[in-house]
């Protein structure tokens, strides 16, 4: 009987919200993740924003140093998050001035979306932005997706509603402020790309989540929030072959214990943001 070559199964790891802040704690957590990525043999890694905590060049250099084994061989793709825009605004140059760009690597095709804006230069204005022009550019990028590649849209801010994670976020939502809300055109983006890609990978919220949407034209869409990988000490690993996911994604743990920093990262800026907004409203 004739034999047919078996296509290799490749792996894709999803990290987000590293918040490298030049502390020993964040360095240790990030290096533990890098070790775990090496041990699991991930073919490619994506980081969906907030690599730095204050958008400082020193924080970005730390990221480049820790993840150089992957960066030096072209096995890591990243996009900016709102925390990469304050300070020295290091995230501004990561997309070559584009809101949408594509990256093609063995077995995968990424549509990278910059959901940050100039308002993110203010540390307390963390919400994202998504225009109709950007949505259309994503659609155009998907038109060029190869049939034999896993297709993923990478964006920092969440595209679908998620539960608030703190009291300030709940207050902001009740008051109608954008601090904790999803991208305004997020649901429209998802609707327009269903059936044309396999994954939407994002971060921003520090608690992980996942939605699996009904297949369109026989192709399901997973919308996955990585959470804060350094806080969690783990990341999702997707297996794929010939442009399709194989099995269910798995969580891969690093040796570093969970780093309980989410509250300090989110709550204090949120409270300051609320105080500022209340002051503007009252005076």
141-181 pLDDT, tens per residue? 999 999 999 999 999 999 999 988 888 888 888 888 888 89
pTM over 0.75: yes
178-231 pLDDT, tens per residue? 888 999 999 999 999 999 999 999 999 999 999 999 999 999 999 999 999 999
Contact between 237 and 226 under an 8 Å Cβ cutoff? The reply is: no
71-82 pLDDT, tens per residue? 999 999 999 999
Domain ranges of the chain: 10-282
Q: Which fold has domain 10-282?
A: Purple Acid Phosphatase; chain A, domain 2 (3.60.21)
Contact between 45 and 75 under an 8 Å Cβ cutoff? The reply is: yes
- Predicted confidence band at 235 (pLDDT cuts at 50, 70, 90)? very high
- Predicted confidence band at 123 (pLDDT cuts at 50, 70, 90)? confident
Instruction: State how far the alpha carbon of 269 is from the alpha carbons of 59, 122, 131, 173, in Å.
Output: 19, 11, 26, 15
What pLDDT does 152 receive? 98
What pLDDT does 264 receive? 43
């Amino acid at each position: 009987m004739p034999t047919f070559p078996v296509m290799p199964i490749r792996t894709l790891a999803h990290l987000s919200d590293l918040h490298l802040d030049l502390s020993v704690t964040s360095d240790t957590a990030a290096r533990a993740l890098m070790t775990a990525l090496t041990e699991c043999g991930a073919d490619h890694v994506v980081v969906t924003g907030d690599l730095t905590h204050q958008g400082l060049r020193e924080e970005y250099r730390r990221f480049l140093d820790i993840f150089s084994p992957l960066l030096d061989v072209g096995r890591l793709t990243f996009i900016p998050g709102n925390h990469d825009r304050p300070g020295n605004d290091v995230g501004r140059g990561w997309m070559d001035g584009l809101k949408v760009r594509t990256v093609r690597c063995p077995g995968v095709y990424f549509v990278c979306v910059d959901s940050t804006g100039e308002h993110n230069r203010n540390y307390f204005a963390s919400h994202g932005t998504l225009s109709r022009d950007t949505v259309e550019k994503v659609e155009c990028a998907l038109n060029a997706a190869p049939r034999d590649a896993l297709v993923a849209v990478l964006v920092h801010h969440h595209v679908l509603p998620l539960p608030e994670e703190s009291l300030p976020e709940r207050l902001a939502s009740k008051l109608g402020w954008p601090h904790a809300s999803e991208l305004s055109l997020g649901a429209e983006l998802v609707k327009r790309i269903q059936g044309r890609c396999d994954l939407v990978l994002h971060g921003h919220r520090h608690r992980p989540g996942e939605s699996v949407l009904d297949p369109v034209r026989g192709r399901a869409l997973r919308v996955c929030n990585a959470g804060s990988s350094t806080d969690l000490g783990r990341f999702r690993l997707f297996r794929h072959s010939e442009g399709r996911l194989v099995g269910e994604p798995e969580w891969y743990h690093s040796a570093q214990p969970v780093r309980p920093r989410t509250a300090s990262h989110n709550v204090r800026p949120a409270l300051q943001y609320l105080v500022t907004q209340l002051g503007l409203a009252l005076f």
